[in-house]
Amino acid sequence: MASPEERAGPEIAVAVVGAKTPGNIGTIARAMKNYGLSELLLVDPPALDPDGEAYGFAGQAREDILPNADEISFEDLTENYYTVGCTATTNEDPANHMRYPAKTPRELADSLEGIDSTVAIVFGRERVGLTNEELERIDTICSIPASAEYPSLNLGQAATIVLYELRDLALSESQHPEDLHRRAPQPEIERLHDQFAAYLDAIDHPENKQPKARRLFRRLLGRADPTPREVRTMQGLLRTGTERSESWHPDRE
Amino acid sequence: MASPEERAGPEIAVAVVGAKTPGNIGTIARAMKNYGLSELLLVDPPALDPDGEAYGFAGQAREDILPNADEISFEDLTENYYTVGCTATTNEDPANHMRYPAKTPRELADSLEGIDSTVAIVFGRERVGLTNEELERIDTICSIPASAEYPSLNLGQAATIVLYELRDLALSESQHPEDLHRRAPQPEIERLHDQFAAYLDAIDHPENKQPKARRLFRRLLGRADPTPREVRTMQGLLRTGTERSESWHPDRE
């Protein structure tokens, strides 16, 4: 991925409106740090005691994001940021534009890509979320898909999912190595298949059954996408078995 | 989406190994309920007091998932389930197969689709996760991408992200209406453009500047994917302005 200097795209802040539970604000701060965001805006927040749950739940975000959070009015928020309001409930009735149309978090990430603006992802209160009066002032609606029977996510969990989906906009790099899974080059895999064929010969697997066994092994490896190390190790193990089987004599038993 | 009876695919359980914090188990139970899962397996769990944090954090999962959670040994877990171990840390060295290769949660969801098996998504302890001894017994590794500087997610937040990504395997339907955003049919949008052209005429916008203004409006609407209601409302509002402008006379001012 590109370094932070090279990335074009929005500056993303997170705003929490009227939350009552300090622990949720700590959870959100931690998710922000996990996903490369730093600007936390609080509208009408509860008191955040340095020895309390907000700091207890914030992980390393207790060092920077929480102490640097800014208290802001809802008016200043909508005046200065392109606001995205997160809500569990969407309108069924497409004639009602309070919560319609909405984007999923993944669609939101796509839509923000390449937009050079100051965006605030806005989360509402526990249980009731954002009020209709607040939603009227908000530019775009985002709704996290969840169970029709129980779509209401906990505030901190909802924020975690949205920030996870926005990761490519904010993170210059993840903790993952370049390849989470490297498939061995095909010629190396073919050498393993050759070794397997030699092994079948050496263990005197019936000749008319060898093609079927080779096919089975090809399908198995074909689905497993073996790594270079897996291919080399399996080849070595089969080679030893091949050699030992070739020098085996029934009368030495 | 298909109804639960029609879905083919894995039965997905969630296993939590050696967690110390009841609140995290409650958070995981809630995410399970939000994403259509019900089987919670606990290896070496803390006591779950019905008046404590586990039940406090579980939302509606306090009614069923938490009280029905099964305590199980790690051996019984690996013996009976296709186990997927979740870890923040992956191996940089592709010759070390303890935490390599790994799938992202999204890749995991793809790989499980259509597999008719009993799968357990396994989460480890707070801070240290799953031990190497445990990982050796586990079939597949899943790692959530996060910030290279701070990739360590809170246990409950990590589970929330993984279960969110697995949603299509477990949920028969989400709370969202069929269309989260319906674009108006193109002929309706074209009628709005006709109305806009008539409006430009009526307000005596200079004739040589009209094509440019029409293009601007077409680009704006083209990016906004207007809904049928948006198109109809804007058309009506412009029609009224057109009519009033047409009957305007400077000498009546």
Interval A53-102: pLDDT, tens: 999 999 999 999 999 999 999 999 999 999 999 988 776 666 777 788 88
Q: Say whether residue A210 is in contact with chain B using an 8 A CB cutoff.
A: no
Nearest residue on chain A to B57, alpha-carbon basis: A154
CB B2 within 8 A of CB B172: yes
| CA-to-CA separations, A32 to A123, A165, B165, B231, in angstroms, rounded | 13, 12, 19, 38
Structure tokens at B159: 């589970």
- Among the partner-chain residues A97, A180, A230, the one whose CB lies closest to the CB of B102 is A180
CB B94 within 8 A of CB B101: yes
The mean pLDDT value for A163-189 works out to 90
CB A9 within 8 A of CB A115: yes
CB contact under 8 A, A150 and B227: no
Interatomic CA distance for residues B58 and B34, integer angstroms: 10
Closest CA to B35 of B140, B179, B175: B175
Closest CA to A56 of A32, A36, A30: A30
CB contact under 8 A, A97 and B179: no
Q: Say whether residue B91 is in contact with chain A using an 8 A CB cutoff.
A: yes
Quote the strand ranges of chain B, DSSP E.
11-17, 39-43, 70-71, 82-86, 102-103, 118-123, 140-142
- Among the partner-chain residues B101, B102, B157, the one whose CB lies closest to the CB of A160 is B157
**Domain ranges for chain A:** 11-170, 186-252
Interatomic CA distance for residues B123 and B155, integer angstroms: 8
CB A138 within 8 A of CB A73: no
Span B222-249, pLDDT tens digits: 989 999 999 999 999 999 999 999 888 7
Tokens 């389930």 belong to B81
Going by CATH, does the domain composed of B11-170 fall within 3.40.50.2000?
no
Closest CA to B94 of A230, A28, A122: A230
CB contact under 8 A, A27 and B150: no
Interatomic CA distance for residues B214 and B20, integer angstroms: 64
For every residue of B146-209, which 3-state class applies, written as one string? CECCCCCCCHHHHHHHHHHHCHHHHCCCECCCCCCCCCCCHHHHHHHHHHHHHHHHHCCCCHHH
Inter-axis angle of helices A155-165 and A22-34, to 10 degrees? 10
Quote the strand ranges of B20-161, DSSP E.
39-43, 70-71, 82-86, 102-103, 118-123, 140-142
Contacts across the A-B interface (CB distance below 8 Å): 178
The 10 Å CB-count burial string (b at 16+, else e) for A32-64 is bbbbbbbbbbbbebbebeeeebbbebbbebbee
- Give the number of other CB atoms < 10 A from CB of residue B77: 20
- Among the partner-chain residues A143, A161, A229, the one whose CB lies closest to the CB of B161 is A161
Q: Over its length of 253 residues, how does chain B's per-residue pLDDT go in tens digits?
A: 434 444 567 899 999 999 999 999 999 999 999 999 999 999 999 999 999 999 999 999 999 999 999 999 999 999 999 999 998 877 666 677 778 888 999 999 999 998 888 999 999 999 899 999 999 999 999 999 999 999 999 999 999 999 999 999 999 888 888 888 889 999 999 999 999 999 999 999 999 999 999 999 999 999 899 999 999 999 999 999 999 998 887 776 5
For residue B68, what is the DSSP state? T
- Among the partner-chain residues A92, A148, A167, the one whose CB lies closest to the CB of B145 is A167
Tell how strand A140-142 and strand A102-103 pair up: parallel
**Over the Cα atoms of chain A, what is R_g?**
28
